[in-house]
Structure 1
Amino acid sequence: MARPVPVNLALRDRRIDIFFAVVFSAFTVTSIISDLLPTVGVDFSQPSDNFFVQSNYWYAHDADPLFMNPPDWMRIITGLSAFVYMPFYIVLVYALLAARNWIQLPSVIYATMISSLTGIVVFGVEFFGEPEFRTQNAVKFLLFNLPYVLVPLVLLVRMRKPLPFTRRF
Structure 2
Amino acid sequence: MADAVTLPLRERKIDVFFAVVFSAFVVTSCISDLLPTVGVDFSHPGGNFFVRSNYWYAHDADPLFMHPPDWMRIVTGLSAFVYMPFYIVLVVALITGRNWIQLFAVIYATMIVTLTGIVVFGVEFFGEAAMRTGNPTKFLAFNLPYVLIPLLLLVRMRKPSPFTRRF
Classify the TM-score, shorter chain: over 0.9
Q: Is the alpha carbon distance of 1:53 and 1:47 closer, same or farther for their aligned partners in structure 2, counting shifts above 3 Å?
A: same
CA contact (8 A) 1:125 1:134 kept: no
> Partners in 2 of 1:131 and 1:72 — Cα distance?
14
Structure 2 residue aligned with 1:117: 115
Could you tell me the percent identity over the aligned residues?
Answer: 79
- Deviation sequence 1:2-52 (CA, Å, 0-9, x none): x24310111000000000000000000000000000000000011113100
1:44-83 correspondence runs (5 A)? 44-83=42-81
Q: Which moved more, 1:43-52 or 1:111-120?
A: 43-52
Q: What letter corresponds to residue 146 of structure 1 in structure 2?
A: L
Count of aligned residue pairs for this structure pair: 165
Report how far residue 66 of structure 1 moved.
Answer: 1.0
CA contact (8 A) 2:59 2:134 kept: no
CA contact (8 A) 1:111 1:152 kept: yes
> Partners in 2 of 1:129 and 1:58 — Cα distance?
22
Structure 2 residue aligned with 1:136: 134
| Local SS of the residue matching 2:94 | helix
Structure 2 residue aligned with 1:149: 147
Q: Is the alpha carbon distance of 1:148 and 1:134 closer, same or farther for their aligned partners in structure 2, counting shifts above 3 Å?
A: farther
> Partners in 1 of 2:52 and 2:150 — Cα distance?
27
Specify every segment of 5 or more residues in structure 2 that has no aligned partner in the other structure, as ranges. Answer: none
Moved over 4 A (4+): 131-135
CA contact (8 A) 1:135 1:141 kept: no
Superposed CA RMSD in Å reads: 1.2
Report how far residue 56 of structure 1 moved.
Answer: 0.2
